[in-house]
Amino acid sequence: MTADLGTLVSAESPSGEPEALARCRAEVAALGERLLGSSPVAHGEHLRWGPERPKVLVLGHYDTVWPVGTLARRPFTVDGHRATGPGCFDMKAGLVQAFHALSLVARTGGLEGVGLLVTSDEETGSATSRGLIEETAGSATAVLVAEPSADGALKTSRKGLARYELEITGRAAHTGLDPQKGVNAAVELAHQILAVSALAAPERGTTVTPSVAAAGTTVNTVPDSARLAVDVRAFDRAELDRVDRWMRNRRPVLPGVRLAVREGARRGPLRRSASFGLFQRAVTLSVELGLPPLREAAVGGGSDGNLIAALGVPTLDGLGAVGGGAHSEDEWVDLRGMPERAALLAALLTRLR
């Protein structure tokens, strides 16, 4: 499993980089062919093993947030029981565990009714894979998501998310000759950042974060354009709807400014009611296997599990790697947890298929 993890981590796969994704996809396909004895069905950049409409679906992704070249300064490294490298925790170790779990199930009883779907754009909102995910999982009785754990805990609830981009249009003017003739998009941007920040409701777990912002082109020109990206997270769909109404009805503060609001990726919450039954089964199986006690966690990050839970399909997330540091320079995997979590996933598949 460590060797397989090294192979996948060493194939860089940032979302939206077709050549890099193709190289990693070839490694993922080869891993599946070796361990499952079959080639995947390709859906564009996405790979599927098993039936089109499986009874039980294992879900994961092979894209990462790390740009090509990261591997040169952060190569795959093993130090004792700790492995590091870009994408090792989120979520290439989870893919390795999934393939080994499926291989075990195949050897001990067959994979009838079991499917695996591996996508290429989860980190950027699943724009090309969302329809495939919903179609593949729509009639399943259970979906097991091989995303990384939360400090070892399975994820029984996740916040929903929504992303927006505000496009601000002002009017340019020379800052020295006639700045009064301009309409400063950067000043409007500042107003919008403060207004957006005020939408957060920490007491309800709702975060509204202005993230990427940009304005202007030259230092001696009143900025005539600006952009602001906004990230919204909430456990309650009503909270997402509240922020959505505000965003859609947002008006500029400065006279003469035009403001356009565009919606990006959106996922509803993964509620505990969608996952707790599967979590209880996992707890029972963990005891039977003699594994460490399982814990559950509610987390702010979304995944493709959110999409499936919204269909009413029982969904258990966080069955992937034990480790930490997702999306950070300190990303790491506890190699001791990989066979344990693969065994747990195999046991769940055996009971649920």
CATH number of the domain within which 218 lies: 3.30.70.360
Give me the pLDDT at residue 95, please: 98
As given in the structure block, the two tokens for residue 242 are 């509240």
Q: Of the candidates 267, 297, 314, which is a domain's last residue?
A: 267
Give me the pLDDT at residue 216, please: 95
Give me the pLDDT at residue 10, please: 98
Same-domain check for residues 261 and 284 = no
Region of 270 (left: φ > 0; alpha: ψ -120 to 50; beta: rest) is: beta
Same-domain check for residues 74 and 141 = yes
Same-domain check for residues 140 and 258 = no
- Which range of residues forms the domain containing residue 343? 2-159+269-352
Q: Of the candidates 235, 267, 299, which is a domain's last residue?
A: 267
> For the chain, where are the alpha helices, taking DSSP H only?
2-9, 18-36, 70-73, 93-108, 130-137, 185-197, 237-248, 276-289, 304-309, 337-352
Give me the pLDDT at residue 174, please: 97
Q: How many domains does the chain have?
A: 2
**pLDDT, tens digit, 9 for 90 and up, residues 230-254:** 999 999 999 999 999 999 999 999 9
Give Cβ neighbours of residue 196 (< 8 Å, ≥ 6 apart).
166, 208, 210, 228, 230
pLDDT along the chain (353 residues), means of 10: 98 97 98 97 98 98 98 97 98 98 95 97 95 97 98 96 97 96 98 98 97 96 98 96 96 97 93 96 97 95 94 97 96 98 98 94
Q: How far is CA 328 from CA 4, 70, 84, 86, 148, in A?
A: 22, 12, 11, 9, 14
Amino acid letter, 152: G
pTM of the model: 0.90
Q: Of the candidates 236, 267, 298, which is a domain's last residue?
A: 267
As given in the structure block, the two tokens for residue 5 are 């993890």
Give me the pLDDT at residue 129, please: 97
CB 208 within 8 A of CB 232: yes
Same-domain check for residues 10 and 123 = yes
Sign, CA dihedral 75-79-84-89, equals: positive
